[in-house]
Amino acid sequence: MYGINHAAIALAVGLPIAIKTGNLETGTIAALTIGSLLPDIDTPYSLIGRKTRGVSDAINLAAGHRGFTHWLVGAGTAIIAAFIFCIVADLNIIWAVAFTIGYLLHLLTDSFSKSGIDWLKPFKNKTYRFGGNLSYRVGGLAERIIGSIAMLTIIIIVGINLTTTGAFEKFILNIVDKSIKFIGT
Ligand SMILES: [Zn+2]
């Protein structure tokens, strides 16, 4: 699945949770998005891999695409690192939670692709494909439809919250406020 669709799905799922729990802020959204893109740092052709050439080339060489970063062990390592990072750097722990949701949604949606995921490697050499005949081909029509639905969902969520709860107004005003303070200092 393309990075843009991974990010769209993570936001379509994560935004309502962030709004409902009062955690709609730049850090949460950034962590969610990074988590949803990070597993594909194992290929220089992905959205995140293109921005991290060198690192993505090295990981691709060492582990291959859909290798370690797509295993449960790799996910666990990244998630634990995110929590430690938030604790050590004294950042909002919710950001690590958002990162976790993004990362796991990436693996889950990759599992529905025709190539599937080796969830339990190195303990079990089995490729898991969910969805049977409903599995999608990377870059195919089904993926584009899923991505479009996710993007539409985001637009609807933003639209509803702009007109009713005002969650996004607060979110945007908060960013403007922080920017002004940042420029002022
Ligand atoms: Zn992936």
CA of 63 to the centre of ligand 1 (A): 13
Query: What pLDDT digit, counting tens, does each position of 26-43 carry?
Result: 999 999 999 999 999 999
Domain assignment of residue 149, given as a range = 3-184
Mean pLDDT rounded to a whole number for the chain: 94
Q: Collect residues with CB below 5 Å from ion ligand 1.
A: 39-40, 110
Distance CA 167, CA 160 (A): 9
Residues 1, 138: contact at Cβ < 8 Å? yes
Model pLDDT, residue 39? 97
CA of 18 to the centre of ligand 1 (A): 24
Residues 102, 33: contact at Cβ < 8 Å? yes
CA of 117 to the centre of ligand 1 (A): 9
Q: Is the pLDDT of residue 165 over 90?
A: no
Domain count, the chain: 1
Q: Is the pLDDT of residue 185 over 80?
A: no
Q: Is the pLDDT of residue 179 over 90?
A: no
Q: Is the pLDDT of residue 126 over 90?
A: yes
CA of 48 to the centre of ligand 1 (A): 11
Q: Across residues 179-184, what is the average pLDDT?
A: 84
Predicted TM-score (pTM) of the model is 0.91
